Amino acid sequence: MLQIDLNHLPSTEELPCSDDTPVDNEDQNLLPNVLLFLLTTLWAERTNWYFGVDMAVYHTTGENPRVPVVPDGFLSLGVERKKGGKSRRSYAVWEEEGIVPILTLEMVSHKPGGEYDDKMDIYAKLGVLYYVIYNPEFWQRDRHQPFEVYKRVEGAYQLQNGEPYWMPEVGLGIGREQSLFGNIPQEQLAWFDVSGKRHLSEAEAERQQKEAEQQRAELERQRREQLEAFLRSQGFDLDQLPN
């Protein structure tokens, strides 16, 4: 095993931002980014979090600190939203005050990528608290469920029950939701509150507010018409009523 010199670790300026392994379906990039975009709305006032998508995570718990693990998505808390005011090229734990991601996400693709074994071992050793595996197409092949959340307990991952699954250390739940994306029905990953209600995107919240206003206006119109019909039935001339 390679001896790691903790006093002379490379900087992220020297390290590749990814492992250059291409994704084999568009959802591997899309769905983690949906989670990121939702967080930018939910935590707009916070600057102590970072969500990376297909980004190299460098650490010292493996054989070589220059060999990263690359989750499809990961969340770290207690770190700068922008590292030194700039965007990160990669995430090196030794440049983040030793803070490891609290959550990692892997999306299983056509070719198995060690999500249930090799990567699980890496994340457990690294100390990632929550490990989410999303496998909507190949779960039967892999003899797992389409959506699984693992929590690290005494150094090992244990499969958790319930969906959406609430993560008190994060202050969010995570799960699936059938929704529209670009007017196309699609199952998506989403954040939820403690009661299990899905957090809406800014566009969804605005659309719901507009629909609620339209419903209130329609209800008011119907009430006004009903009142006018009643007054007419009682012999009132509505044109002669005082303002």
Q: What phi, psi does 185 have (nearest 5°)?
A: -60, 135
For tokens 């297909």, the residue is 54
> What pTM, to 2 d.p., does this model score?
0.80
Tell whether 212 is covered by a domain: yes
Both 188 and 103 in a single domain?
yes
Both 40 and 60 in a single domain?
yes
Give the CATH number of the domain where residue 118 resides: 3.90.1570
Both 145 and 213 in a single domain?
no
Q: Which stretch of 72-76, 81-85, 207-211 has the lowest confidence by average pLDDT?
A: 207-211
Report which of residues 232 and 130 the model is more confident about.
Answer: 130
- CA contacts within 13 A on the Cβ side of 51: 18
Q: Which residue from 93, 87, 106, 117 is spatially nearest to 32, judged by alpha carbons?
A: 106
- Reduce the DSSP state of residue 3 to 3 states and report it: coil
| Distant-in-sequence, close-in-space partners of 50: CB < 8 Å, separation ≥ 6 | 75, 76, 79, 80, 81, 88, 91
* Structural domains counted in the chain: 2
Range of the domain at 220: 208-237
* Mean of pLDDT values over 64-87: 94
Give per-residue pLDDT as tens, 56-70. Answer: 999 999 889 999 999
Tell whether 136 is covered by a domain: yes
Query: Is the per-residue pLDDT at 210 higher than 70?
Result: no
* Mean of pLDDT values over 235-239: 73
Both 181 and 94 in a single domain?
yes
Confidence (pLDDT) at 1: 43
Distances (CA, A) of 17 to 25, 58, 159, 197, 216: 20, 10, 30, 35, 51
Tell whether 16 is covered by a domain: no
Give per-residue pLDDT as tens, 147-205. Answer: 999 999 999 999 999 999 999 999 999 999 987 777 778 899 999 999 999 998 766 65
Both 115 and 232 in a single domain?
no
Tell whether 134 is covered by a domain: yes
For tokens 């999303």, the residue is 134
Both 212 and 183 in a single domain?
no
Both 131 and 49 in a single domain?
yes
Tell whether 194 is covered by a domain: yes
Give per-residue pLDDT as tens, 83-135. Answer: 888 999 999 999 999 999 999 999 998 887 899 999 999 999 999 999 999 99
Both 47 and 167 in a single domain?
yes
Give per-residue pLDDT as tens, 2-54. Answer: 456 666 677 777 676 665 565 566 778 889 999 999 999 999 999 999 999 99
Both 73 and 178 in a single domain?
yes
Tell whether 5 is covered by a domain: no
> Which uninterrupted H or E stretch holds 185?
strand 184-192
Tell whether 20 is covered by a domain: no
Confidence (pLDDT) at 146: 96
Tell whether 168 is covered by a domain: yes
Instruction: Return d(Cα 231, Cα 145) in angstroms, integer.
Output: 62
pLDDT range class, residue 217, cuts 50, 70, 90: low
Instruction: Return d(Cα 74, Cα 101) in angstroms, integer.
Output: 6
| Distant-in-sequence, close-in-space partners of 11: CB < 8 Å, separation ≥ 6 | 92, 95
Both 127 and 94 in a single domain?
yes
Confidence (pLDDT) at 73: 96
Both 188 and 82 in a single domain?
yes
Both 116 and 232 in a single domain?
no
Instruction: Return d(Cα 237, Cα 152) in angstroms, integer.
Output: 75
